[in-house]
Amino acid sequence: MFSPKKQTSKPETSTAPKPAAPSIISSDLSINGNLNSGGDIQVDGTVEGDIVSKKLTVSSSATVRGAIEAETVVIAGSVTGQIKARHVTLIKTARVIADVVQERLSIEPGAFFEGNCRHFPPEGEKKVLPRLEPIKPTVQREGEAASAPSPIAAGS
């Protein structure tokens, strides 16, 4: 009863971190400054500054003025600035005046978008353009008739 017990080894369980709840900027909150999160951010209020996160949701009552960088961005409110994300979705109530660099862009009917949009390829799929060979001009000597190069000779 009072003797030391043998310790039994506990089976190891995976200690994967639980996903954290999103950080919420409520509708009555105004932030002047940059936000940086490894998780999700939901903006219901006003942010004047840059935002970096894994996922960003800008609700219909929200306003963001600044650069946004995230894996996924869902916008229902107002954004002015720049957006760089793999997946960008503009909900019908969105008002976006920004340059967007994205892999996938979805715009619902009714959403307002003004700005430039560029596509960037996935990291593993950067395309290498083939190198173009310069065209060798045919030299014509005086007195010789110009002859069209044969298709077979032109390819080699």
- Category of 66 on φ-ψ map: left (φ > 0), alpha (ψ -120 to 50) or beta: left
CA angle 73, 75, 80 (to 5 degrees): 95
With 70 as the cut, is the pLDDT of residue 6 above it?
A: no
3-state secondary structure of 153: helix
Retrieve residue 155's tokens: 């390819």
Angstrom distance (rounded) from CA 56 to CA 127? 29
Q: Give me the mean pLDDT over the 21-29 stretch.
A: 91
Q: Give me the mean pLDDT over the 31-56 stretch.
A: 95
For 81-138, how does the pLDDT look when each residue is reduced to its tens digit (9 = 90+)?
Answer: 999 999 999 999 999 999 999 999 999 999 999 999 998 866 655 555 455 555 556 6
Angstrom distance (rounded) from CA 81 to CA 75? 13
Q: What is the mean pLDDT of the chain?
A: 81
With 80 as the cut, is the pLDDT of residue 144 above it?
A: no
% the chain with pLDDT above 90: 62
Q: Give me the mean pLDDT over the 56-61 stretch.
A: 96
Q: Give me the mean pLDDT over the 128-153 stretch.
A: 57
pLDDT recorded at residue 78: 97
Q: Please report, for the chain, the start and end positions of each structural domain, with discontinuous segments joined by +.
A: 23-122
DSSP string, 115-146: S-EEE---GGG---PPPPPPPPPPP--TTPPP
pLDDT recorded at residue 117: 92
pLDDT recorded at residue 21: 83
The one-letter amino acid code at 6 reads K
